Structure 1
């Protein structure tokens, strides 16, 4: 069965014409879209796609119409000649459409990246615009914040009672707070504009080496005990902590130090150790004294009995007197031992400390050679009567003044002074001399029983120990400051109107 030719011809011709019309309609629509948004990549892609489809529609439709005309006029041989060219053109248009599609995928990725970059750029632009518009406010706020922070830490720096010091790694001092200058005994003006090194105020150079090595290894050092030299060359015990400060490039530029004065703590520790030591020695001394006292009494008693039966002119009498003399001397030492060891009840009464000091001084002046020794007095007239055991306090003062007398020798100055602190109700008594002074190594032993620097036979070494015990039994404190070749000062601190202190 053969289909009628006309329907096929009609459909082919009509379809080809319709295809051309539709492709050009699509092309015109895309052109309008492209004109409205020239940089839209989708419209660009569709435009090229429509160009390809229009070219394909023209190529195919023209070929089909020509084919039908040639077949209708019975010239098939002509169509057979040009058909390969028509097919090639159709193939090329399809290749073009496919190429546009494949190329678009790459273009689309680039377009998306461009859009992202555009958004990022827009965001950066908006941020930059905001910063530009608000830069002054932001700078002002940041400056205010930094100023507040600087003020806060500067206040801490200024009012801290501990030394805060900033130095370079080599120890060059960059900054130091007022407490640091006060601790070292300097004025700030003595440091300004001058190169001062922290290690120069160390009593021991080895301590600075240890600190440097620890900081290099650990980056910090904590509670390291050191001694610092003050301007007057005195020493002060301190606890040092510090840390390395690194800048943004991790370069170690400066060291921040915090130095705490522990001189008072060391003093209390030494006093407690001294008290414990004296308590132990007191128990030992009491045992020794009691063990010696009885046989010594028998020796002295029988010696005195024998003396009564001997003629004064007899040689034996002289020998017995020598025995009596040395026995009495031994008894005096034993009594000192017992006084040191015995914590007897103190019988307190209100007395004038100045009268007690003057009576002791008068007694010494009558019984010792003080002709070439100058006595200076500086009494605080505001001192109220003190509740003291008069006999014992005079004994303590006697020992201290006699110690000063032995220190100055045949000439020099002994200065007696008192001061009253109303806020603490404390009375300070100072007995100073211009004698030979005490070597530093002996300061810690000065109140030890039997410790003396005098030649053998010139002292028992118990005087200062007894004075120490008496002052402690009165609830007071006794301390000593000395510089070899310049003199010594003993300071006694007692509390006024303290009926509950002591025995």
Structure 2
């Protein structure tokens, strides 16, 4: 009787949907089909195994395994053909990495219409975890010494009551319990409230990794001190005779990984900021040059009119407004050109402390500091940097003025110089006691034209210019702290070590 193609297709889908690696064999052991799970598990090309015998393929998979048919023992496939009943065999192998594996291979006969065996279906079930647990009970010390204790991942096993029956050294370090203490702790104590039960629910959900298996999952664990630690874990239920007897989990501490990811994100953000600043710099330069010529004419002719116009003329005040705004526009153009770095930097070697002392001296309006206490916490060690001193002083002045504005001209301004932990980078910290920078503005403070000051009080180019200047001098500017108690900006430049002659030639 012909087989309906739709029924055949349906059978093939069922065959491929089996969760265990499966092969279809002829009675002589020739492989005629394998399912997708088998190909994924063993990473085989179907063309290299279809048509070969099971013993040929098995020898490639388990080069160190001795099979029953090789020692004149009864082959389970032959028994299944002879008895027309299912047979099984447990294969034990040690792969090239030295890892042990156990596979339970079940041979089930497929009978023809006349009752003879036409084919054998071989299902392969990995029972490595069960065998490892058996070995734990039979030889605990050997298992701990050779397998579990050598793992860098934390491994925990618990019985059905939640009592810990196994914890390796990595788990003890991760959770903070000694080997004596861990046996007195319940598995639920290792998680925030309700998480352990949720993990067991997922383990029993066949839609998530299969029955008794939990794929890699991100969770928080709780150590002995009560601290929550982010980890990646996998888990499994261990069965015996179809009944749950234990559960096991493998934990990998994510703290270092998350710290690296955070640094990578910060680096990517910095790259993006640099690219954005470069593009905006080119745009700013073009705009500034286009505006400069008509602005020069406005100022020139406006000044000529101012000289000829009487002070009591009705339009005199209007003309003053025009000249005042035109002059403000000239300052904006000047800042745009500085931001786009159209002028070449003149680098020299100078003491980093001079950036503080010279900047304070160059601020003309000292009335700003009438109610501001200025603290100079300068390092006693001579720290030299190579940069454009005028540009660096311009940046420091800008930070000082911003700090005074943030404090509304009343508070404490601290200027401190020091070296970083490596001793290779010079740091200048500008700290105010203002209201701080709102979190939503932190990512935008170095953007051109971004300002929180009132209309006419700021162009939003000061920090953008500072960012460009520090980049041009192989340094950087960043906010190390901000909050209701104040803000700290940090300027960082490479420290240099030069001979006395070089210092004299550079400074003198």
Deviations 1:323-347 (A, max 9, x none): 1111000110111111111254221
The answer to whether the 8 A contact 2:234-2:250 is kept is yes
Give the TM-score normalised by structure 1: 0.55
Structure number, greater radius of gyration: 1
1:100-499 equivalences under 5 Å are 143=141, 146-147=144-145, 149=147, 151-153=149-151, 156=152, 217-218=208-209, 219-221=214-216, 241-247=232-238, 249=244, 252=247, 254=249, 256-259=251-254, 260=257, 261=259, 262-364=261-363, 366-421=365-420, 423=422, 425-497=424-496
- CA RMSD in angstroms, aligned pairs only: 4.2
2:233 partner SS: strand
The answer to whether the 8 A contact 1:348-1:388 is kept is yes
1:489 partner SS: strand
For residue 355 of structure 1, report the CA deviation from its aligned partner.
1.7
Whole-angstrom distance in 1 between the partners of 2:428 and 2:175: 30
Structure number with the higher strand fraction is: 2
2:431 partner SS: strand
Which residue is 2:133 aligned to? none
For residue 166 of structure 1, report the CA deviation from its aligned partner.
7.6
For residue 285 of structure 1, report the CA deviation from its aligned partner.
1.6
Structure number with the higher helix fraction is: 1
- Compared CA separation, residues 257 and 332, structure 1 to 2 (3 A): same
The answer to whether the 8 A contact 2:386-2:496 is kept is yes
Whole-angstrom distance in 2 between the partners of 1:457 and 1:378: 34
1:458 partner SS: coil
- What residue ranges of structure 1 are gaps of 5+ in the alignment? 1-137, 158-163, 169-173, 182-191, 201-208, 232-237
- What residue ranges of structure 2 are gaps of 5+ in the alignment? 1-135, 159-166, 177-183, 499-508
The answer to whether the 8 A contact 2:284-2:340 is kept is yes
The answer to whether the 8 A contact 1:387-1:498 is kept is no
- Compared CA separation, residues 450 and 166, structure 1 to 2 (3 A): farther
Whole-angstrom distance in 2 between the partners of 1:167 and 1:269: 40
Whole-angstrom distance in 2 between the partners of 1:450 and 1:338: 14
The answer to whether the 8 A contact 2:368-2:404 is kept is no
- Compared CA separation, residues 145 and 476, structure 1 to 2 (3 A): same
Whole-angstrom distance in 2 between the partners of 1:462 and 1:302: 28
2:446 partner SS: coil
Which residue is 2:92 aligned to? none
2:349 partner SS: strand
For residue 365 of structure 1, report the CA deviation from its aligned partner.
7.3
Whole-angstrom distance in 1 between the partners of 2:489 and 2:299: 37
Whole-angstrom distance in 1 between the partners of 2:272 and 2:425: 24
1:369 partner SS: helix
The answer to whether the 8 A contact 1:243-1:257 is kept is no
- Compared CA separation, residues 199 and 306, structure 1 to 2 (3 A): farther
The answer to whether the 8 A contact 1:383-1:420 is kept is no
Which residue is 1:23 aligned to? none
2:363 partner SS: helix
Whole-angstrom distance in 1 between the partners of 2:356 and 2:327: 28
Whole-angstrom distance in 2 between the partners of 1:363 and 1:422: 31
For residue 498 of structure 1, report the CA deviation from its aligned partner.
8.7
- Compared CA separation, residues 178 and 265, structure 1 to 2 (3 A): farther
Higher mean displacement: 346-355 or 458-467: 346-355
- Compared CA separation, residues 411 and 297, structure 1 to 2 (3 A): same
The answer to whether the 8 A contact 2:233-2:249 is kept is no
Whole-angstrom distance in 2 between the partners of 1:221 and 1:352: 54
For residue 437 of structure 1, report the CA deviation from its aligned partner.
0.8
For residue 435 of structure 1, report the CA deviation from its aligned partner.
1.0
The answer to whether the 8 A contact 2:359-2:397 is kept is yes
The answer to whether the 8 A contact 1:476-1:492 is kept is yes
